């Protein structure tokens, strides 16, 4: 009887240990919290167009400061359809940020700008979240696209040298949580 109780306790301890480890996996958080508010702004920097200065996109389009910023609440839908005067559809979900060029080849704002981006050219998208997110690292589907994590509230998608800026181009940044 004594051995039966000891065996039972040993089995019980093993079962609790296994379930306890499984619960740790279940507590992993998504990198981005749906329902959060996020604002996107854009800057452009190029030795050819801006003499190396990082300028707000409104300066380049001669628009009022902040007029091309957009704010959305994160959901299952595309958060920023036709963002930046119909340039990109930008979608954010719990574990990724995706961009797709929706402007057409003959677009009046962008048609003459389609090209492979040259050295020292950076098209940056600043995502400022209302609350802290849980992003610790990333992978990008495009070698010319990087993510900079400025803080728990600010993520910067940086498109640079070698990016083939053209209609239909898309990329995805997969985000990893700290936990």
pTM listed for this prediction = 0.84
pLDDT tens, position by position, 102-124: 999 999 999 999 999 999 999 99
> Which are the contacts of 123, defined by CB distance < 8 A and separation ≥ 6?
42, 43, 44, 117, 158, 159, 160, 163, 165
Q: Mind listing the pLDDT tens digit of every residue in the chain (179 residues)?
A: 555 554 544 454 454 444 444 444 445 689 999 999 999 999 999 998 999 999 999 999 999 999 999 999 999 999 999 999 999 999 999 999 999 999 999 999 999 999 999 999 999 999 999 999 999 999 999 999 999 999 999 999 999 999 999 999 999 999 999 88
Domains in the chain: boundaries: 37-177
H or E segment to which residue 19 belongs: helix 2-26
> Which are the contacts of 56, defined by CB distance < 8 A and separation ≥ 6?
41, 42, 43, 65
> Which are the contacts of 85, defined by CB distance < 8 A and separation ≥ 6?
61, 68, 109
Q: How far apart are CA 99 and CA 8, in angstroms?
A: 56
């Amino acid at each position: 009887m004594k051995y039966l109780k000891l065996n039972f306790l040993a089995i019980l301890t093993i079962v609790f240990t296994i379930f306890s480890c499984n619960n740790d996996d279940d507590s992993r958080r998504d990198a981005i919290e749906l329902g959060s508010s996020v604002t996107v702004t854009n800057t452009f920097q190029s030795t050819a167009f801006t003499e190396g200065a990082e300028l707000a996109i409104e300066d380049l389009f001669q628009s009022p400061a902040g007029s091309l910023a957009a704010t959305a609440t994160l959901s299952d839908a595309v958060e920023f359809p036709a963002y930046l005067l119909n340039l990109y559809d930008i979608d954010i979900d719990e574990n990724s940020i995706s961009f797709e060029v929706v402007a057409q080849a003959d677009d009046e704002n962008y048609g003459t700008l389609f090209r492979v981006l040259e050295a020292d050219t950076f098209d940056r998208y600043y995502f400022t979240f209302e609350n802290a997110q849980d992003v610790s690292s990333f992978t990008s589907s495009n070698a010319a696209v990087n993510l900079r994590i400025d803080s728990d509230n600010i993520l910067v998608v940086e498109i640079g040298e070698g990016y083939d800026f053209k209609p239909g181009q898309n990329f995805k940044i997969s985000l990893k949580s700290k936990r």
